[in-house]
Amino acid sequence: MDIEKRVDDLIEKMTLREKIGQLNQVSGNIDKAALLKLIKEGKVGSVIMASSCFAGNDESAVAGTDYYEELQKTAVNESRLGIPIIFGRDVIHGHHTVFPLPLAMANSFNDGLVERAYRDIAREAALDHIRWTFTPMLDISRDPRWGRCVEGPGEDPYLGARMAAAAVKGIQGKNLSDADSIAACAKHYIGYGAAEGGRDYHHAEISDYSLYNYYLPAFREAVKCGVQTVMNSFNDINGQPVASSKKLLTDILRGELGFDGFVISDWEAIKQLINHGVAENEKQAAQMSLNAGLDMDMVDECYLNYAEELVTEGKVSQETIDTAVRNVLRVKLRLGLFEQPYAPKYKIDKEKHRKDAYELAAECMVLLKNNNGALPLKTDERISLIGPMANIKETHLGTWTLDGNPADVTSIADAMKKIGGSNVNCHHQWLIDRQFNFAWGCDTYVLCLGESRQMSGENNCLADIAVPDYQVDIAKRAKAQGKKVVAVLCFARPVALKELEPYCDAFLYTSHCGTAAGEVIADILYGVINPSGKLAMTMPRTTGQIPMYYNHFKAARYCNDYYSLGRSYKDIMSGPMYPFGYGLSYTEFKLDNLSVDSEALKLSDIEAGKTFKIRARLSNTGNVKGKETVQLYIRDCVSSVMRPIRELKGYKKIELEPGNTETVEFSVGYDELSYYGDDLKKVLETGRFTVYVGFDSLTKNSVNIEVI
């Protein structure tokens, strides 16, 4: 019997109360006896394995698998229809093995490594009864003040879509019913990253044009890749809370994107319609969300308490309930939960997963500055290692890490000592005595700066993203000694480096890169690894420049604060400190011979599938093997509505030995040249386009093409 027929068969057997139960997700930390009673009565469709809405910053270890096995056995054996529970947990960027934060993953520009990481994550999670994770977060964000920007793919919709595909494919595997595959959840749908002022949960003002061209593409790609669940966002858009928006949850998500899984609310988001001021009480909130197309209620029990009454009163139709239940059961059947409701018993290769975490972290860290070859360090250099992150372990795990163990992390100090031995001297008392005694005869100061994991993530926003004054003071005092100064920047979010930059010869931006972070940092500093990360979010000079993003519109007088064609502010230099797509290497790369196979193509031919072939020659002209990400950007020179100055439409990461060259080819066709116009339909217009190919968003290498 196929899945839809099985769903029909189940729905025919269910009472209204049992149907509503499938739409109810409860917290796994409520009273056990009460939870078992609810399960026996068929009133639980899902259990979230979390202790609070701020689980990402809690010490909330997963309960033992025996506990969840007992809950599942109760559902299967003691509820009337034996419908299994789907257990969900925030396995955001790692389970027992922790990988880099999602924003750092995007810095890798390596879809394959990201997909492999999520495959490892899913395999570990499934062993602990977790068959559903609330990731990937696909919120495009242009504001690093927002604490949750670190959980997403950055500022660009194309990169966001590629990261969405990698995450969904990795989490859900080749076959969703396989024992080591779990359901992914595309969140937070939608516009959460556009909150005013970078303030979590706040209002977002987003035009339909921006919604379709910037905020929807990553979700569209996730749906295309078969994502099984979507989580609504807390925010409102233009005065309409997403949790009550039929336009967003049904008309666009299902009608246009073709989503056929189920939608879950974020933690108590239905009840929070009261806070938004659009619902009088929980009953009305439940009515609004059900009619909008929000299928499952996360923990606030609005559906459990009021849905039956709403159906009786005719305020919610039986068909609406059946549709929501159908969506939930469809996913449970696709996961194979009815055939195998319990945790699988396969073994995990922990060393392989740690190696995978190391390899991904190695490509996520970004070398921002390297004056006069300050890096890599030599093993015989005498190093004075100072700063708040030198001996820290837990921070490297990052926010939203529920099950990673800090004991599995090697500190930067210990990792560097394994390479540099007695030449590495770590100052442990710098914060206590504030004496900053630099008397030890070193050649180089390595400053381990950064922010704790509690400074980013949900409800952890900052008004100022500058490096803290006391950390700038460390750099000033180190530079005053007349020695080389290298700064390791262990910040989860992009930071404003204007005040720190004059005092450092090199910047290595590490983010929070997980279990293997310490070893990777040391290996990059000593040249064991050649860094290859690129920025997925712009680094502004100061907080006052925010929002600063590369794909903005042209101003009327062509003054802007990104491409340095004018001056937006009188008190600082124009442009970002480091642009989107930027990142250095220990070797040198050259890009030349940029060409296109045809300068013009007919619109009808492009619509039929014909493409421009853009080619360039990449050469490693340096002395060591390295990886470079060649990026392709498009500019629509004249269009019926304003278009961004540049938009990323392709990238390829290539490894070359010294002296080697490789021809890089991109296809530019309908998908790359079209956009969503005034009628919110994809349109490709005739006219001129400029194609830029280079190593970051400021590249000047270009060719012109025309659609005729």
Cβ pair 354, 360 in contact under 8 A? no
Tell me whether strands 675-676 and 682-683 are parallel, antiparallel or unpaired: antiparallel
DSSP calls for 335-375:
TTTTT--S---PPP-HHHHHHHHHHHHHHH-EEEEEGGG--
Cβ pair 446, 385 in contact under 8 A? yes
SS3 content of the chain, % helix, strand, coil (to 5): 35, 20, 45
- Torsion sign (Cα): 214, 145, 365, 367: positive
- Torsion sign (Cα): 257, 262, 267, 273: positive
Tell me whether strands 661-668 and 612-620 are parallel, antiparallel or unpaired: antiparallel
DSSP calls for 653-694:
EEEE-TT-EEEEEEEE-HHHH-EE-TTSSEE---EEEEEEEE
What are the two backbone dihedrals, phi and then psi, of residue 70, each rounded to the nearest 5 degrees? -65, -45
Q: Which residues contact 446 (CB under 8 A, 6 or more apart)?
A: 377, 383, 384, 385, 386, 416, 486, 488, 525
Distances (CA, A) of 462 to 92, 387, 443, 468, 493: 22, 21, 35, 12, 10
Q: In sequence order, what are the beta bridge partners of 609?
A: none
Q: Which residues contact 611 (CB under 8 A, 6 or more apart)?
A: 667, 668, 669
Inter-axis angle of helices 318-334 and 3-13, to 10 degrees?
130
Q: Which letter does DSSP use for residue 555 in this model? A: P
Instruction: Report the alpha-carbon distance of residue 357 to residue 515 in Å, rounded.
Output: 7
Residue 266 is a catalytic residue: yes
Active-site hit among 90, 266, 356, 408: 266
Using alpha carbons, select from 511, 524, 513, 514 the residue that is nearest to residue 408.
514
Instruction: Report the alpha-carbon distance of residue 234 to residue 270 in Å, rounded.
Output: 9
Q: Which letter does DSSP use for residue 608 in this model? A: T
- Torsion sign (Cα): 567, 569, 574, 580: negative
Instruction: Report the alpha-carbon distance of residue 707 to residue 670 in Å, rounded.
Output: 10
How far apart, in Å, do the first and last CA atoms of the chain sit? 52
Dihedral, CA of residue 368, residue 373, residue 379 and residue 381, to nearest 10: -110
Q: Which letter does DSSP use for residue 296 in this model? A: B
Distances (CA, A) of 352 to 91, 358, 445, 644: 19, 10, 34, 42
- Structure token digits, residue 523: 């290996």
For residue 482, count other CB atoms closer than 10 A to its CB: 7
Using alpha carbons, select from 606, 599, 544 the residue that is nearest to residue 571.
544
DSSP calls for 508-552:
EE-----TTHHHHHHHHHTTSS------SS-B-SSGGG-S--SSP
For the annotated catalytic residues, the residue numbers are 266
